[in-house]
Structure 1
């Protein structure tokens, strides 16, 4: 039997660590199957990557493309974690400035495939001209992509989403192209943000929805960070909406040996505190480094947590001091003093997976970032959900459909919530008898997300696709 030719695969993620890390994990899994990886980003982002394990170190080349300077972008800002939300469009402008240097790299290195993100709408024609095959990789789950609608190349009867949905009220029901029952749709306050933040042209000159559609239309296949066991019907629909092969790559958990790393020596202090708590009693609270609750939301969240009575570990990491206009909201006065002994506010990096894995943790209060959801479900932890963005709102509704978590009730018009609603939702998910269904369903999810053999098979299927489709799958 002939040996499979070693492939050279380039990966080009958007400049956000919520994208960079899954792309890197996918690259490592492909490298473990015997292929060569070129991982492309900017110098500062490359320097901030987690250490690559020795078993794939020689198979991954880190390619640094200097980010062009653009007006209004702070010096040394190379990822979304370096800038407040209103400056992200200028980061997209700078990212568009990578077109020439990326083209030069692709021409000289001639990879077999490039796996790319939503942002480089200009990439597919360049890769096609060079004879490089293309996969669009989404770090978002399948139901979110389906909500965005069909591409113009689609052979379905669904209508072009950008021409028919123009008002917030158009978005608060499932789209007409979804053929099965679902309650997944934005709330009104999320739909208002969606139109302003993603549907309309921003300072980069290109709307997010336009970037996404051009990236998808220009790809030969779509890879999605999800599992068929959770989103089988959505994955099938996604392929129909874009008339393209679609394959899930699993949740891309980092290897067990990497999850156990105590990178800054703080685990001893944390585990000593956790060891003193009763099994299943602690609420772990984390919103990532890039999600910023408003001052009002932070107040209600903290006071709801306080009056719930539950022990808590809150990873409240401050943004980089280099972030202009990115001041961190402050906790309510006296909060830490009043909850001392019962709760911890941890201001630096926290080993999230190890904390969630501790038996004292009974629930995870978070913003519904897809990677955090996957980590929670690896360990069977139910979710208390407080989504901040439109995409995380859609994830929250997916989790509620699967009954593995509960969303904190909010005002439909403005998205506000109260401390009482936080307290009540915490008690329901963590303790109340009627909340047992959520705790049970979250444990069932661990049979999918926590099954490392299953996740490995997803990675293997991805590699099989790349190996077996050396010819063009779908042209521009």
Structure 2
């Protein structure tokens, strides 16, 4: 191992969502495993809820807890998107933006060799530049998602929701990647125009892309080479894929206890017969959507394991409920779990034959590393673009919906589940999932991407290139 003087100190600052913090932590673990030092910056409650580190890495990853400033309308103890309903997320962003001073003090004091940040802190590139700290926008979004958004100037060209329902005119290759109208309408006010004088997500993306020195993307050349190449052409700066970052779990005793009864149930099911249903920490179906999903599962006659979040934190007043009698009618072949469940262990179990998912990229990666075919039902944010990428490559099957309002029916849910999981016509999706395992589950390939990324960071850093 090289001497300590040659090792990097990298600071990481993800957005306050577990779908962002977990990939950041995976990258942190991979970089730390090469002997480099990480400062992982978030709020106290979020740090305490992150998965435990392997003992071998604990000394190399330092968790920096920055208290989240109080903001009006943001509930006490709400420090991540998992804690609040969608209408309160703008206040979480306002609190995150108020971390500007404490982030500046941390950077002045610690002087990391590199700073990696998410899409949200539009104010951070300028701070890093003023302090002479090289910075990278580490995107947990796919290259297709970033390529669809375009540059800061191109983002300003789209004025109406309909502008987001067609593929980007700057893509020099054929693609179907775009939002459906109901998907963009859900995010247009907050994401594009900004509400109540808030900073829009589009503005955040534009500033971060323009202000960083390097764009690091959770992706690989084997999966989306055309989009990675387009990103580099558009932004005129290095675009570095860091691999798909499949989640690695370090088991605690609590996890083992929770898993014991679940495993016993999965062990009783036939091989590749179970539909696993989970919509991540961000997505929550409406009451109507929940009812259609439930009746579709019932009608499919397939065994199922459903991890269901009925509310998003104490401030969520819209608690959703399963149709009356549903659990009683399906108890012989299905389980609804309203507590935490170990998704990696579930997807790894041989009885799982299909995954009904919101198309969040961490869930996609976890599913494909275990060869599980995908049935796609999007709810929010980048999920619509992810689903189009998967649909275009015939890796996932989109449940048919009304393009205007997003409505769908229980029979389309049932038909989609059966098609992908057991029927002959869906064999192509099952075969494609097997084929994708080598892209999404190959640890050697993942290591090569991280090695290449570190090589780049070292080559651009004076403290590691000069003689110690």
| TM-score relative to the length of structure 1 | 0.94
SS at match of 1:33: coil
Aligned to 1:292: 284
Aligned to 1:399: 390
Aligned to 2:190: 197
1:306 aligns with 2:298: yes
Distance 1:288-1:456 versus aligned 2 partners, 3 A rule? same
What is the CA deviation profile of residues 206-254 of structure 1, one whole-angstrom value per residue up to 9, with x for unaligned ones? Answer: 1111011111111000111112111111111111111111111112123
1: CA distance, partners of 2:201 / 2:462: 30
Aligned to 1:43: 44
The equivalent position to 2:321 in structure 1, one of 313, 316, 330, is: 330
SS at match of 2:382: helix
Deviation at 1:46, TM superposition (A): 1.1
1:79 aligns with 2:80: yes
Matched-pair contact (CA < 8 Å) for 2:274–2:304: yes
1:412 aligns with 2:403: yes
SS at match of 2:223: helix
1: CA distance, partners of 2:291 / 2:244: 33
Distance 1:407-1:348 versus aligned 2 partners, 3 A rule? same
Give the count of matched residue pairs: 462
Matched-pair contact (CA < 8 Å) for 1:262–1:351: no
Give every structure 1 segment of 4 or more consecutive aligned residues whose post-TM-superposition deviation is greater than 4 Å.
1-4, 259-262
Deviation at 1:43, TM superposition (A): 0.9
SS at match of 1:270: helix
1: CA distance, partners of 2:415 / 2:329: 20
Aligned to 1:161: 155
Query: After the TM superposition, which residues 174-189 of structure 1 pair with which residues of structure 2 at under 5 Å, given as runs?
Result: 174-189=167-182
1: CA distance, partners of 2:253 / 2:247: 11
Deviation at 1:205, TM superposition (A): 2.3
Deviation at 1:323, TM superposition (A): 2.7
Matched-pair contact (CA < 8 Å) for 1:92–1:204: no
Aligned to 1:271: 263
SS at match of 1:363: strand
Matched-pair contact (CA < 8 Å) for 1:10–1:115: yes
Q: What CA RMSD, in Å, does the superposition of the two structures yield over aligned residues?
A: 1.8
What is the CA deviation profile of residues 370-411 of structure 1, one whole-angstrom value per residue up to 9, with x for unaligned ones? Answer: 000000000111001101124111111111111122010000
1:454 aligns with 2:448: no
Query: After the TM superposition, which residues 104-115 of structure 1 pair with which residues of structure 2 at under 5 Å, given as runs?
Result: 104-115=105-116
SS at match of 1:266: helix
| TM-score relative to the length of structure 2 | 0.95
2: CA distance, partners of 1:92 / 1:203: 12
Distance 1:145-1:259 versus aligned 2 partners, 3 A rule? farther
1: CA distance, partners of 2:451 / 2:317: 41
Matched-pair contact (CA < 8 Å) for 2:397–2:420: yes
Deviation at 1:16, TM superposition (A): 0.8
Aligned to 1:57: 58
1:102 aligns with 2:103: yes
